[in-house]
Structure 1
Amino acid sequence: MSAGLALWRLAAGAAAPLLPLHLRRRARFGKEIAARLGERRGEGAARPPGRVLWLHAASVGETLSVIPLLEALATRAPDLTLLVTTGTVTAAGVLAQRLPGGLGGRLLHRFVPLDVPRWVTRFLDGWRPDCAVLVESELWPNLIAAVTARGVPLALVNARFSARSARRWRLLAPGLGRRLLGAFRLVTAQSAADAERLRALGAAEVLTPGNLKDAAPPLPADVAALTALRGAIGDRPVLLAASTQPGEEAIIAAAHRLLAIGHPGLLTIIVPRHPERGAAIAVDMAPLPVARRAAGALPGPETAIYLADTLGELGLFYRLARVCLVGGSLVPHGGQNPREPARLGCPILLGPHTHNFEEPVARLLAAGGATRTAADPVALAAAAGGVLSNPNRGRAMANAAAAALAAEAGLPDRLAGLLIGLLPGAGPGDGPMDGATPPATGPA
């Protein structure tokens, strides 16, 4: 055992007595489900007979990205049970909402155990997965060590490894990084840059078949809710600020005031990344007339700001907007996912801070599917006004964005073939289909 892993195991064991209190506190704030806290200790296994593939997607973004992969796995291996773990309540809710009906009882959800050795052991003893798949950057040392010790094939898919994370691993735990990444039989990265950083840290071979987030389906929208909103908004021009972070709403409100001069009837929809901030944001918007969706309101004729402080409805607002700002990009948060508006034909504005999504942002900007704005009201108003005043420009941006993301449609099926090939008992019908070999079958 490496010194880094030994220290981590010691620290996790020492923290374990305090973690139940931490979990109960999180449950009080809605960040855990009280009745399911046992799952965080590895309890609640109900393993069915047959082969079980375990896939862990930590949060909402990862969960959304793997839904097409889950469908492809179920199609390729009809006998396979899919155990999906998440680390957040919101991710679990998204999975329940978006799960294709055809998967039915073949997919089971649990919350992932915290990285305490005996809790991880209890989880693995109960579920006995035939293959384990981690998504993006979930490198939990005790979990990976325990899976490896059992000889369970381990894959890291759609891996994302920022330059900052790579520096941190190199400085703090280079030996542990090599040990963890060396445990994976399959590693696929979102981009060539991610692959290079993973190999430098110790991954033996990294494939770059594409980014699952490029292949995710468009965000859904409830038809009745969409009809009601369209009726309430009418032909008013709509600016959407999607998944905003603290500090952005004030800039957006000031930009609204400037834009409204040249665009009478302008409605600005603000969707905060964390809906629980809704009440505070509404106060900060004064004296602009605000309607809150969490209170059941629709935008009225006098509404200037419609505060969509609900969860899981962003697909509605991308369909209503003539232009959108991708939130988290006006402040040094790093930006949210620009692929979501691109799939729904909504012209995209990006602030200066987009390092969370460097590769798709670069691709969208190069294709003309998005445009930059500085992080101030005058610049934001000018960028949004340029699209609102020129519908042809907005359509051209939307078409360019959609084309920039079109290449990854077959990725979930290709990746499913690679994962099924890791399962014990993989037969002639498993693995990549004829004519569907991944575009990258070696190191990037």
Structure 2
Amino acid sequence: MISPVADPAPTGLGLRGYLAASPLIALAGPLVLRRRLARGKEDPLRVAEKRGFASAQRPDGRLIWLHAVGLGEVLALRGLIGAMARQDPELQFLVTSSARSSAQVIGANLPPQTRHQYLPLDAPRYVARFLDHWRPDLSVWAEQELWPGAVVGAHARGVPLALVNARMTDAGFARRARARGLYADLLARFRLITAQDDRSAGHLRALGAGGVQVTGSLKLAAPPLAADPVALVQVQAAVQGRRVWVAASTHPGDEAQAMVAQAALWRADPRWLLVLAPRDAGRAGAVASALTEARLPFARRSLGRVPSGGDAVWLADTYGEMGLWYRLAETALIGGGFDAIGGHNPWEAAHFETAILHGPDISNFAPDYGQLRAEAAALQLAPGGLATALQDPGLPGMAKRAACIVHKAAGGLTPLATDLLALVRP
């Protein structure tokens, strides 16, 4: 049994109010989960994890619990897990997340000695059930999501807390500033806080965090996405002789640009093939309708189809296969840049010497794209410029420069791993 912490952190009015109301989450939780199940937002085989019921046994030994909310954030943790495991090969790891898509993708990319669970809803009895089972020796929270009940519950049991890879936009800070007292009380419980950039660090300090370090993005040092070797051979055979490019993690604005570009390229040369991978595979029906309207014949991956010579598009409407598509493609349009999204992670493509193109809205990844631009390793596009950019003879050199950046960053997580392991309970 974990002993209570000796030095309880402050609990002001905002946090007290949240904790007093949090038992209501357990009252509403079953109804909320049923509705999400009906909409396909929860995994029916694992939905009990959202109420703290574990679906896996706790391994023996010291356990590091890492939490991130969604797909990109979870995948970014893999490099940090690897860095800690290299320093202590006996460590065990638990990764939690909230989104169903994150579980589907991380399952194909889990590092050794690592298992995944969903974080329970933030009700006291759900959190207690989770902590009773897993008994973590360190709790690491990533990016920007903090669940007050889980943070307070872990801290009260003496579990050291760290916040890493924190990212906070101006808009995110403005929302949190309205509850500054609550965030100040939560952040006081963390023994280590690191941010991706100076802007995020400044926002955290303004919310009451002390000792914030700027360490850059974990995404840069994450290992390459995995790919099933049998599936890789199959998809390579399916596209032999084609000029393949991928539109990755797309939203409607990205897809509109990609379809216009592919229509022009394919009608001039039918060897061109677009692999279109929506960010949310649940939107595949709408994307398929848009392809039909654009008169672009396509094969749909989720139906087991491969593109014929007459297909212009392969609709990659599955989760966990981006490692396949980046291995096929010469060039990638990274999604989120032609919508009010803020862009998506460019580093996953860089590992495979895939040239990186993106739209103008990259606010969520400004430092990352800034680093790529400084090395002439990515190209920002205006609307309508994609078809021309895909034929730029300078793309292979740009792709090699991006790959050099990620390869140099591979060992950059050692200092952070050392600092985290210094917190682990003996």
- What TM-score comes out, normalization by structure 2 length? 0.90
Q: Report how far residue 285 of structure 1 moved.
A: 1.2
Q: Report how far residue 46 of structure 1 moved.
A: 4.7
Say which SS state the counterpart of residue 108 (structure 2) adopts: helix
Q: Report how far residue 205 of structure 1 moved.
A: 0.7
Instruction: In structure 1, list runs of 5 or more residues that go unmatched.
Output: 426-444
* 2:403 aligned partner, one-letter code: A
Q: Report how far residue 19 of structure 1 moved.
A: 1.3
Q: Within 2, Cα distance between the matches of 1:83 and 1:220?
A: 19
Q: Report how far residue 73 of structure 1 moved.
A: 2.5
Matched with 2:417 is 416
Matched with 1:299 is 307
Matched with 1:314 is 322
Contact 2:105 2:319 in 1 (8 A): no
Q: Report how far residue 309 of structure 1 moved.
A: 1.0
Contact 2:106 2:320 in 1 (8 A): no
Q: Report how far residue 47 of structure 1 moved.
A: 4.3
Inter-CA distance 81–258: structure 2 relative to 1 (3 Å threshold) = closer
Contact 2:66 2:141 in 1 (8 A): yes
* 2:64 aligned partner, one-letter code: L
Among 45, 53, 70, the residue aligned to 2:81: 70
Matched with 2:398 is 397
Among 80, 84, 93, the residue aligned to 2:91: 80
* 1:142 aligned partner, one-letter code: G
Among 189, 201, 205, the residue aligned to 2:207: 201
**1:180-329 equivalence runs, <5 A:** 180-260=186-266, 262-286=268-292, 287-329=295-337
Q: Within 2, Cα distance between the matches of 1:261 and 1:59?
A: 38
Q: Report how far residue 271 of structure 1 moved.
A: 0.8
Contact 2:22 2:122 in 1 (8 A): yes
Say which SS state the counterpart of residue 413 (structure 2) adopts: helix
Matched with 2:385 is 379
Bigger mean CA offset, 40-49 vs 200-209: 40-49
Contact 1:2 1:176 in 2 (8 A): yes
* 1:18 aligned partner, one-letter code: A
- What is the CA deviation profile of residues 154-205 of structure 1, one whole-angstrom value per residue up to 9, with x for unaligned ones? 10111112221111111x1111121111211001112222222212221111
- Measured on the aligned residues, the alpha-carbon RMSD in Å equals 2.1
Q: Within 2, Cα distance between the matches of 1:95 and 1:270?
A: 20
Q: Within 2, Cα distance between the matches of 1:119 and 1:295?
A: 38
Inter-CA distance 266–33: structure 2 relative to 1 (3 Å threshold) = closer
Q: Within 1, Cα distance between the matches of 2:239 and 2:89?
A: 46
- What TM-score comes out, normalization by structure 1 length? 0.87
* 2:153 aligned partner, one-letter code: A
Inter-CA distance 127–314: structure 2 relative to 1 (3 Å threshold) = closer
Count of residue pairs the alignment pairs up: 413
Say which SS state the counterpart of residue 401 (structure 2) adopts: helix
- What is the CA deviation profile of residues 238-280 of structure 1, one whole-angstrom value per residue up to 9, with x for unaligned ones? 2321111124323321222223355443222211111122232
* 2:404 aligned partner, one-letter code: A
Say which SS state the counterpart of residue 385 (structure 2) adopts: helix
Q: Within 2, Cα distance between the matches of 1:83 and 1:316?
A: 26
* 2:349 aligned partner, one-letter code: P
Matched with 2:13 is 3
The answer to whether residue 357 in structure 2 is matched with residue 349 in structure 1 is: yes
Among 53, 58, 73, the residue aligned to 2:64: 53
Say which SS state the counterpart of residue 357 (structure 2) adopts: strand
